[in-house]
C-alpha cells in the first residue's frame, strides 16, 4: 500500500512533529560561555544521530564538504537549544584526526550504530575526506568503541570489500547478539554507474564480504528524480544515490533498506546474508520489495515492535511501515523540515531525526551564518516507545 492510501485509523493517529532543538551551526568549545560557532560551521552539518541507554545523543558531522572540522563523531549536549550545537569529540579530537594514520583516526563518519546491548558504538568510516579523490589505504573501516570509556574494542578493515574511489559507505545496522554488521554502500562516488552493494561484517572473525553488488534493489531507480520542497535536487547534475538507510527487525532475522534515488523499500532474510556459500544469484531471489514509500528517502529505524520509520525527503516527514499488515503510511510531515536525514528512538519513547538542509549545503547554496541544524521529534505510542535492541 502506498502512502496515498492511508487507512482511516491511521489518519486519526496522524502525529504532530515538534522542532525540538534548532542550532545555528556547531561548536566544539565545551564551556557554557562559548557562543561563537566553529569557523567553518556552514560546511559541517549534523547528519547522523543515535542515543545510548542513558539518553546521550551521539551525532556525526561528515567531512564531505570540508575536512577541517575538529571531529566527525561527537556527543551533542541536547540540553542546549539555540546558538551553535555544543559538541564534544568522541572518543577525542585526537581519535578524530585526519592527519593520523588512516587506519587509526576517524576520518569521515556519516553512519554509526549505538549498541545498547554490548555498550559499544560502531563507527563506519568512509575513509576519504573532502578534497581526496580516493580513500587512503586503511581508511575504509568500522571502529568499535566502548561507550563509557571511548576505548577501541576492535577495528574492522573494509578496503577488501569497498572501492577506494567509488564507494560511499553510507549507513550501518548491527545484529547486537551475533555481532554482525550490515553496511550500505550507495556507490555515490561512482555515480551514475554506482558501485552499490551491501557489506556483511563478522566482528568475531574480522571477515567481511560484499553481496548484492549492483543488484537493482541497491541501485538508483531508473527514471526517478530526487525532489525536496517541490524542486529537483541538483537539477543540473541530478543526485544518483543508491542504497542509503538500513535497519534490522527486532529479532535480527530481516534486513530492510531504502534507495534515495527511488521510492521503494526492500528486505531480505539475514540467514541468507550470513550464509557465505550463497552467491548473489541465490541472494537476489530472496530480495523482497516491501512497498512504495511515496517519496524519496534517507534514513530508517525500527522500533521494538518491528515498525519501520522512514524519513521522506520529498514530503518533509516520516513514513511508517507495518510489516504485520504490509501497509505504508505517511505518519507526520511539516513544511519546516528540510531534508530529514537520520531517525533514532530515544530511551523515553520519542522518535528524533536530524534535518540540516544537506542537499543545499552540498550544492553550496547556504551562506555562512545562515546554517540551521534542526532536531525534530514526535512522541511514539506506548507500545512502540522502546527502541529495537538490534537496530537503533
- Mean pLDDT for the stretch of residues 13-35: 80
Q: Which residue has the higher pLDDT, 236 or 356?
A: 356
Q: CA–CA distance from 249 to each of 161, 266, 321 (Å)?
A: 25, 13, 12
Domains of the chain: 8-384 (2.120.10.30)
Integer-rounded Cα radius of gyration of the chain: 19
pLDDT at res. 29: 73
Give percent of the chain above pLDDT 90.
89
For residue 392, pLDDT beyond 50 = no
Name the burial class of residue 52, with classes exposed (0-12), middle (13-18) and buried (19+) by CB atoms within 10 angstroms of its CB.
Answer: buried
- C-alpha cell recorded at residue 175: 545484529
For residue 384, pLDDT beyond 50 = no
Q: Which residue has the higher pLDDT, 4 or 240?
A: 240
Query: What is the rounded CA–CA span in Å between residue 169 and residue 162?
Result: 8
Residue 164: what are its φ and ψ, rounded to 5°?
-65, -25
Query: What is the rounded CA–CA span in Å between residue 306 and residue 359?
Result: 30
pLDDT at res. 15: 80
pLDDT digits (tens, 9 = 90+) for 163-204: 999 999 999 999 999 999 999 999 999 999 999 999 999 999
For residue 4, pLDDT beyond 70 = no
Query: What is the rounded CA–CA span in Å between residue 392 and residue 84?
Result: 26
pLDDT digits (tens, 9 = 90+) for 299-349: 999 999 999 999 999 999 999 999 999 999 999 999 999 999 999 999 999
pLDDT at res. 12: 37
Helix runs in the chain, H state only: 8-12, 270-273, 280-284, 358-362
Query: What is the rounded CA–CA span in Å between residue 176 and residue 254?
Result: 14
- Mean pLDDT for the stretch of residues 207-222: 97
DSSP secondary structure, 285-354, as one string: TT-EEEEE-SS-EEEEEEBTT--EEEEETTTTEEEEEETTTTEEEEEEE-TT--SEEEEEE-TTSEEEEE
pLDDT at res. 36: 79
Q: What order of strands is seen across the sheet that includes strand 297-302? A: 297-302, 308-312, 317-322, 327-333
Residue with cell 505510542: 381
Cβ-contact 363, 234 below 8 angstroms: yes
- Mean pLDDT for the stretch of residues 122-143: 98
pLDDT at res. 37: 86
The average confidence (pLDDT) of the chain is 92
For residue 19, pLDDT beyond 70 = yes
pLDDT at res. 13: 54
Total Cβ atoms within 10 A of residue 192: 10
Query: What is the rounded CA–CA span in Å between residue 144 and residue 151?
Result: 9
Cβ-contact 300, 308 below 8 angstroms: yes
- Mean pLDDT for the stretch of residues 5-33: 69
Pairing of strands 85-89, 26-27: parallel
For residue 219, pLDDT beyond 80 = yes
82 falls in which pLDDT band (50, 70, 90)?
very high
For residue 30, pLDDT beyond 60 = no
Residue with cell 550504530: 113
Give percent of the chain above pLDDT 70.
92
Amino acid at each position: 500500500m502506498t502512502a496515498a492510501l492511508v487507512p482511516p485509523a491511521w489518519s486519526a493517529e496522524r502525529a504532530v512533529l515538534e522542532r525540538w532543538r534548532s542550532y545555528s551551526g556547531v561548536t566544539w568549545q565545551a564551556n557554557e560561555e562559548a557562543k561563537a560557532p566553529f569557523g567553518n560551521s556552514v560546511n559541517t552539518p549534523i547528519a547522523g544521530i543515535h542515543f545510548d541507554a542513558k539518553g546521550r545523543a551521539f551525532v556525526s558531522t561528515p567531512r564531505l564538504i570540508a575536512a577541517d572540522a575538529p571531529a566527525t563523531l561527537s556527543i551533542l549536549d541536547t540540553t542546549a537549544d539555540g546558538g551553535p550545537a555544543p559538541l564534544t569529540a568522541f572518543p577525542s579530537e585526537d581519535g578524530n584526526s585526519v592527519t593520523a594514520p588512516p587506519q587509526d583516526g576517524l576520518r569521515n563518519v556519516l553512519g554509526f550504530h549505538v549498541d545498547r546491548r554490548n555498550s559499544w558504538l560502531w563507527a563506519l568510516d568512509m575513509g576519504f575526506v573532502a578534497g581526496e579523490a580516493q580513500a587512503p589505504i586503511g581508511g575504509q573501516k568500522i571502529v568499535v568503541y566502548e561507550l563509557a570509556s571511548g576505548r577501541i574494542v576492535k577495528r574492522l578493515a573494509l578496503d577488501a570489500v569497498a572501492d577506494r574511489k567509488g564507494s560511499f559507505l553510507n549507513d550501518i545496522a548491527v545484529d547486537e547478539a551475533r555481532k554482525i554488521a550490515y553496511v550500505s554502500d550507495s556507490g555515490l562516488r561512482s555515480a551514475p554507474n554506482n558501485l552499490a552493494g551491501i557489506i556483511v561484517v563478522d566482528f568475531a572473525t574480522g571477515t567481511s564480504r560484499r553481496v548484492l553488488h549492483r543488484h537493482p534493489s541497491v541501485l538508483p531507480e531508473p527514471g526517478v528524480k530526487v525532489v525536496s520542497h517541490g524542486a529537483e535536487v541538483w537539477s543540473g547534475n541530478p543526485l544518483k544515490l543508491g542504497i542509503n538507510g538500513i535497519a534490522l527487525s527486532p529479532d535480527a532475522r530481516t534486513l530492510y533498506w531504502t534507495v534515495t534515488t527511488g521510492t521503494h523499500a526492500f528486505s531480505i532474510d539475514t540467514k541468507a546474508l550470513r550464509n557465505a556459500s550463497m552467491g548473489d544469484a541465490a541472494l537476489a531471489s530472496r530480495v523482497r520489495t516491501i512497498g512504495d514509500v511515496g517519496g524519496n528517502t534517507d534514513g530508517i529505524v525500527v522500533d521494538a515492535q518491528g515498525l519501520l520509520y522512514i524519513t521522506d525527503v520529498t514530503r518533509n516527514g516520516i513514513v511508517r511501515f507495518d510489516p504485520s499488515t504490509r501497509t505504508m503510511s505517511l505518519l507526520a510531515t511539516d513544511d519546516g523540515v528540510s531534508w530529514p536525514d537520520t531517525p533514532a528512538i530515544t530511551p523515553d519513547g520519542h522518535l528524533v531525526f536530524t534535518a540540516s538542509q544537506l542537499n543545499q549545503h552540498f550544492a553550496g547554496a547556504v551562506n555562512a551564518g545562515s546554517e540551521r541544524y534542526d532536531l525534530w521529534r514526535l512522541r511514539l505510542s506506548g507500545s512502540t516507545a522502546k527502541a529495537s535492541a538490534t537496530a537503533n
